[in-house]
Structure formats: structure tokens, C-alpha cells
A = this chain, B = another copy of it.
Amino acid sequence: MAQLQLKLNDKLFQKDPQSTDLGMRIVEKSIELIDNLGFEAFTFKKLSIEIESTEASIYRYFENKHRLLIYLISWYWSWTEYRITFDTHAIDDPSAQLAKALEVICAKHSYDKTFPIVDEAALQRILINESDKTYLTKNIDEINKEGVFKGYKSLCKLVAEMIKKINPKFPYPYALISTILEASHQQVFFAHHLPALTEFEREDAFEKISLFIKDLVFTAINSK
């Protein structure tokens, strides 16, 4: 069976964690730990104990824990883009293509052995709880210049271009897609923790949110 690897931007790490055994343990266990502890309580010290190594060794891969979070979220978005490309390439109708893309974005994931070191279900929980912390930071402009958000931008572009194909006159394809990319996980969070802010319920949140978002996108782009 072919081994797949998502190629990520060099700037996301000091040394590519996909290149060594220790690097892969760092990625694997950091997903588990951040999922369990939350990003704030997660530390390189705790991770070093988990992987039976040292803080110093982890710093050889990631400048700090914030960069590690960016790495994980970037991986998630790249993976999403890969699945959209894969799942839509045989579809000819642009509207059906967009519908499929939105479904991929909103779908609930489970562990998939295609990428053995990544527990996709845990990573999706991290996305829901922590992803906004990647960019809500004082040094955003500095790190953005390094290109660490390329994965997110690229995904946004892919879907926005689908909209342009369906209706070139719609004036805000990028704003609409970035809005719904955020909403797709925010609404899951609200369903779990702030139910007064949403109609969706824990049990069927993912499927219902998918309907809500497809509805929102298609009525918006077909109204102009």
C-alpha cells in the first residue's frame, strides 16, 4: 500500500517532524495531549514526558507550542483540501462540486489509517476548540509573512473559485467561504457548550450544520 504524506510549508517547523521517528511521535502525542488538556494547559514539558524525550529535543522541531498548533491545524486544512480535490474530481456539475466540497468541510471525522500518526477525530476536536488561536495573536502579521497560513488560504481559494464558476457575479466568494469555514466548527462548539446560541444539538450537529451551510451558501450565491 502506498504511503501518503502531506507536504507542508517549510516555515511551519524547524525540522520536518515527518522526517524522523521522534518527530512523528511528537506529532502523534501532541494531538492526544492537546485534545485532552486543552492548548493552554499543554506544555512541551508534559509532551516530553509522554514521548520519553526532553524539552530540548522538541524545541529542535518546533520553535514553540504555538507553532506546533499552527502545524497541526495546517495539516488539517491541507488534508481537507486533499479530500475535496479527491472527492470532487469526477464531478462535472459545478454546483454539485461545491455541494460536495461543503459536505467534506462539515463532515465529522474518525480515525483513518491512511495517516497512521494522525488521529483525525482528535485533530478535529482540536480544530473546533483551538484553531482560532493560530491567528488570534499579536504577532499575526509577522508570522503571516512567513507563509504559515498558506494551507488555509489555499483551501479558501479552492472553494471560492467554485463559487465564481457557478455565479461570476456574486461579489463576496472569499468572504462567504471564510465565514462558513469558521462557522462550520464554531457551530459545533456552540452546540456542545453554548446551546443558547444555536438550534443544533450535540447528537446530530455535524449533519445539520452541513445542511444549514449548504443552504446558506446556495441561497446567497443564487440571489444575485
Contacts and interface: CB of A to CB of B under 8 A. Distances in A.
Contacts of A171: 199
A144 B187 CA distance: 16
A175 B212 contact: yes
Contact of A194 (B38, B40, B130, B149): B149
A178 B187 contact: yes
Given A179-B179, A187-B178, A196 B156 contact: yes
Given A138-B41, A194-B135, A223-B219, A182 B174 contact: no
Chain A binding surface, main DSSP class: helix
Given A178-B186, A216-B220, A196 B138 contact: no
Interface string A20-43: 000000000000000001101100
Nearest to A191: B175
Contacts of A223: 215, 219, 223
How many chain A residues sit at the interface, stated as a range, is 35 or more
A187 B175 contact: yes
Given A135-B189, A175-B197, 10 more contacts: A132-B136, A136-B189, A140-B194, A141-B193, A153-B197, A174-B196, A178-B187, A216-B216, A216-B220, A219-B219
